[in-house]
Amino acid sequence: MSYVAPLKDMLFVMNELAGLSEVNALPNCEDATPETVEAILEEKAKFCSEVVAPLNHSADKEPSSWSDGKVTTSKGFKEAFRQFGEAGWQGVQHPVEFGGQGLPKLVATPCIEMLNSANLSFALCPLLTDGTIEALMTAGTEEQKSTYLTNFISGKWTGTMNLTEPQAGSDLALVRTRAVPQDDGTFKLSGTKIFITYGEHDMAENIVHLVLARTPNAPEGVKGISLFIVPKFLVKPDGSLGERNDVHCVSIEHKLGIKASPTAVLQFGDHGGAVGMLVGEENRGLEYMFIMMNAARFAVGIQGISIAERAYQQAVAYAKDRVQSRDLAGSAGAVTIIHQPDVRRMLMSMRSQVEASRALAYVAAAASDAGHHHADEATRKTNQAVYEYLVPIVKGWSTELSIDVTSTGVQVHGGMGFIEETGVAQYYRDARILAIYEGTTAIQANDLVGRKTSRDGGAVAKGIIGQIHKTETALAAGTGEYADDLQAIRKRLVDGTRALDDVVNYVVANIKTDIKGVFSGSVPYLKLAGVVLGGWQMARAALVAVDKLKAGEGDAQFYKAKIATARFYADHVLTQSSSLRAAVVEGSAGVLALTEEQF
């Protein structure tokens, strides 16, 4: 099944909702002109469709394999990754001084979406390298940057994140890997790391692990964790590769999905100690890793949108092709199943959630750009705070809905969806990891409740809610041919926003006195925020579409479809807000009532 990048929707969202022209006007974003951006997206779309997407299903059937410490990636991956690096795709959002293109996050985001739609397993390798680059940019020395970044950005080397240990998953306080200082300023690391994505593979000359470990006498818990660079091959002063380091892949996992992406168990220091270089200051490792994780969390949110888009495309194609049953409205003979109302409902459910989550993520990316580049410091701060509020929502909500959307994609196919050859079952399997890695949905939700809502007394959330009220006012003013749609959307958005406001008030008011009660509603709060903020974007999109149609500009069919999709989202998705509100504000009694023994 082929993949066609949804360039029209991507560009609509970038231009009309996320404000590409405002981003382009920011300092250091001058290169991101509409023409350049469109050209980049078209080129990336071509690469993804022609080179990467065709490897998706075959790689699932013949996953990466381990033998004697070495991992052979699926057929075609090595060559595709070479082309990826040579074309400069690793560097889209990274600094020009290290060979990148230095483009805004808003431009990098659709590029990442496309690569992940084409092949989630393949795209994970550059995704992790992106995180490594961000961490070294923030905390690395000039020497570390010059040694590693150019090689990352050219695609010669790749990066990994080494957090998890068998006893330390979500809870990094439990990390045990040891790092002992040596006379030459390096450290010797020993320990076991698990779930290391692309921890070993054959696509790059070198693999650079960023590893969390404890130095001797470090404090207990998360305040005693430091970050180290541990390259597979040590790098000589002249930049060439030296000795093999003492880090070895002892096995890879047998997984439900993303089978072509090798998930390694790495053993550090079994033969004398793996040589590591401290990044930044001792005991501040978690802080640096959070930089990497925040970038990765946003990207994993994009993965949710990507896999949902891919599933949607294949479901539409099948629904237009499969002939079965007559049209309810009364044709003779059998028709394609896209004529069946429930198939329509399923496709609209997929489509509307993909479009809403894409719009929210791109808007978040634009906020990140303004947060980094805006000339005015106060504006930078406001935008950065909005971005940080949105990151757990983009990550948690987009990935959770990707499970639902890919499941619906299977359902549209009926029995054929359950047969692996059809390919849609793979999306369902692949999607399932997204709500787990880089912090489970509960971890995202805890972040939303704690650092992002209660810490500032709900100020950022309230600021966003104030913005939504402006959209509600604009909807209320809607007249003409699409007034019914706009009023229906307004009604649902008003209800949803009120629910979100209630929940924010509840969280802020109760977190001190009833911490378990508040956290028992953290995931419903996250989902509510996603549903409402996604609905807000769909409402904004509908308003733009109505204006364009009135003005007679652009593709009328596209804008009409956008209005109908926003209407569907309002009546079928935004309506979930009352139930999610109840789960948070009135739902904790049932969550916490049982004793452990009663389970």
Q: Which of 445, 500, 503, 544 binds a copy of itself (CB under 8 A)?
A: 445
Say which DSSP state 49 is in: I
Residue 475 to residue 463: CA distance in whole angstroms: 19
| Cβ proximity to a copy of itself, 278 vs 499, nearer residue | 499
Residue for token pair 């974003």: 29
Strand partners, 80: none
Nearer to a copy of itself, 47 or 437 (CB): 437
The verdict on 498 binding a copy of itself (CB under 8 A) reads no
Q: Which of 375, 378, 551, 594 binds a copy of itself (CB under 8 A)?
A: 594
In the bound complex, what is the minimum distance in angstroms from residue 487's beta carbon to a copy of itself? 12
- 304 near a copy of itself (CB under 8 A): no
Cβ proximity to a copy of itself: between 187 and 569 the closer is: 569
**11-19, 367-375, 415-423, 465-473 -> range binding a copy of itself (CB under 8 A):** 415-423
One of 39, 96, 256, 476 touching a copy of itself (CB under 8 A): 256
The verdict on 419 binding a copy of itself (CB under 8 A) reads yes
Rounded-to-integer distance, Cα 407 and Cα 242, Å:
48
Is 298 or 568 the residue whose CB approaches a copy of itself more closely? 568
User: Is the Cβ of residue 129 or residue 446 nearer to a copy of itself in the bound state?
Assistant: 446
Cβ proximity to a copy of itself, 234 vs 564, nearer residue: 564
Secondary structure (DSSP) of 75-105: TTHHHHHHHHHHTTGGGTTS-GGGT-----H
Burial class (CB in 10 A: 0-12, 13-18, 19+), 430: buried
Residues between 58 and 97 that touch a copy of itself (CB under 8 A): none
Contact 540, 471 (CB under 8 A): yes
Give me the DSSP letters along 443-465: HHHHHHHIIIIITTTTHHHHHHH
Angstrom distance (rounded) from CA 335 to CA 88: 46
| Contact characters 148-167, a copy of itself, x per CB under 8 A | ----------------x--x
* 590 near a copy of itself, judged by CB under 8 A: yes
Q: Are strands 157-162 and 178-181 parallel, antiparallel or unpaired?
A: unpaired
Which CB sits closer to a copy of itself, 92 or 518? Answer: 518
Q: Closest approach of Cβ 327 to a copy of itself, in Å?
A: 9
195 vs 189: CA distance, rounded Å: 18
Residues in the chain: 599
Question: Residue with structure tokens 């890997």?
Answer: 177
> Whole-angstrom Cα distance, residue 432 to residue 425?
11
| Helix (H) / strand (E) containing 195 | strand 187-197
The window from 48-56, 83-91, 370-378, 431-439 that contacts a copy of itself (CB under 8 A) reads 431-439
E strand or H helix that includes residue 118: helix 105-118
Angstrom distance (rounded) from CA 449 to CA 379: 24
- Binding of a copy of itself at residue 331 (CB under 8 A)? no
Does 253 sit near a copy of itself (CB under 8 A)?
yes
Q: Which of 485, 500, 529, 541 binds a copy of itself (CB under 8 A)?
A: 485
Chain position carrying tokens 């906020």: 367
Decide whether 380 or 429 has the Cβ nearer to a copy of itself: 429
Cβ 563 to a copy of itself shortest distance, Å:
8
Q: Which stretch binds a copy of itself (CB under 8 A): 67-75, 500-508, 543-551, 557-565?
A: 557-565
Using the minimum distance from each CB to a copy of itself, give the nearer residue, 152 or 427. 427
Rg value, the chain, Cα: 24
**Dist CA 130 CA 91 (whole Å):** 9
Count of other CB atoms within 10 angstroms of residue 283? 17
Can residue 557 be called a binding residue for a copy of itself (CB under 8 A)?
yes
Which residues does residue 480 pair with via DSSP β-bridges, in sequence order? Answer: none
Residue 481 interacting with a copy of itself (CB under 8 A): no
Of the candidate residues 376, 420, 481, 547, the single one contacting a copy of itself (CB under 8 A): 420
Angle CA 434–48–76, to nearest 5? 90
Instruction: Give the tokens for residue 276.
Output: 């590591």
Give least dist CB 103 to a copy of itself, A.
Answer: 32
Check binding of 370 to a copy of itself (CB under 8 A). no
**What number of chain residues touch a copy of itself (CB under 8 A)?**
102
Q: How far from chain centre, in Å, is Cα 158? A: 19
Select the residue interacting with a copy of itself from 271, 345, 470, 550 (CB under 8 A).
Answer: 345
Bridge-based pairing state of the strands 206-213 and 157-162: parallel
70-72 and 65-67 beta bridge pairing: antiparallel
Q: Binding residue for a copy of itself (CB under 8 A) from 183, 377, 516, 552?
A: 516
Nearest to 145 by CA among 212, 98, 207, 85: 98
**438 catalytic per annotation:** yes
Residue 353 binds a copy of itself, judged by CB under 8 A: no
- At closest approach, how far in Å is the CB of 528 from a copy of itself? 12
Q: For a copy of itself, give the closer residue by CB, 459 or 592.
A: 592
Single-letter amino acid, residue 74: S
Among 432, 452, 490, 540, binds a copy of itself (CB under 8 A): 432
Q: State the Cα–Cα distance between residues 537 and 529, nearest whole angstrom.
A: 12
Which is catalytic among the residues 438, 472, 481, 596?
Answer: 438
CB 21 within 8 A of CB 83: no
Using CB under 8 A, pick the residue from 323, 459, 476, 483 that binds a copy of itself. 323
- 494 interacts with a copy of itself by CB under 8 A: no
Catalytic residues, by residue number, are 438
